[in-house]
Chain A
Amino acid sequence: MITNNAAALLIFPIAIDAAAATGLDARGMVIAVAVSATTSFMTPIGYQTNTMVYGPGGYRFGDYARLGAPLTVMVIAVGATLIPTIWG
């Protein structure tokens, strides 16, 4: 459980190496990391704003995963479709 910025930085070298191994554009790979590091919808502690609405909204912990998981899948699907098209 680390901040999304730190997570992006840690995955960054892996993404660069993965790009080199596959022949994908490194730039697109890095953008994929940046986008996915910002999609913290799955838990109330994923981002400050998630926590802010947690109490007042009367949400349960699982509510975040219930709505966050499909949203995350959507972001990844859209990313995997668009990123190779734009930064091919």
Chain B
Amino acid sequence: MNTRGPGCFEAVIGQGSRHVGRTLREIGFRGRYQAVVIGIHRAGQPVNQKLGEVRLRMGDTLFLLSDAGFKKRWSDRNMFLLISAAGEALEPRHHRPTGIFLIGGGVLASVATGLLPLVTAALVGALLVVAFRILTPVEARDAVDLDVVVAIASAFGLAAAMSESGLATTLASGLVNASQWAGDRGVLVGVMLAPSSSAR
């Protein structure tokens, strides 16, 4: 991407953004992001207030004027859910979708048939994606979402702690007692309700 010259961008405020509930002035937006907000859209309507005083909400779309490197600078951070250059609806991907479907299908098939262990298949698949230049090594590295990796790794520890301490057994028997009147299917429904109520 050309990193010179001005560019127009749309940036959507994400849930993880520290800016939710703050105004552009409080954030010091211009200095921090080297970008000027020229408009804020909320639920498809432009916000008709002084822009510096609008309390940002999740899902707000900021229209920005910045240099062409803006997107590259900020798209990896969780400040913005997504950034697109104005007029660029979706980032065009030029790789051939058949390649990625074949690799993905191959990974699934080799694991499902027991040909390869999951980790081996996934690593081979990831290598093939880079080897066939569907992603560059840099893109592949950037595609790893560290937040999710850390959350899952920590959850493994918590899950082990729950088993060791007997908390899991206590919760499980509580769950079984609460839903047993509806039979085994009732317990199954209880188990399905548990993660959905926490992941929501």
Contacts and interface: CB of A to CB of B under 8 A. Distances in A.
A27 to B, nearest CB: 12
Residue from A17, A28, A44 whose CB has the most chain B CB atoms within 10 Å: A17
B155 A11 contact: no
A58 B187 CA distance: 38
B155 A17 contact: no
Contacts of B155: 2, 5-6, 9-10
B194 A56 contact: no
Residue from A18, A21, A80 whose CB has the most chain B CB atoms within 10 Å: A18
Contacts of B169: 17
Interface residues of B, number: 47
B53 interface: no
A79 B148 contact: no
A68 to B, nearest CB: 9
Contacts of A7: 195-196, 198-199
A67 B178 CA distance: 27
B82 interface: yes
Contact of A10 (B59, B159, B191): B159
Contacts of B187: 18, 22, 24
Interface in B136-160: 148, 151-152, 154-156, 158-159
A34 to B, nearest CB: 9
Interface of B: 12, 14-15, 41-45, 58-61, 81-82, 148, 151-152, 154-156, 158-159, 162-163, 168-169, 171-173, 175-176, 180, 184-185, 187-196, 198-200
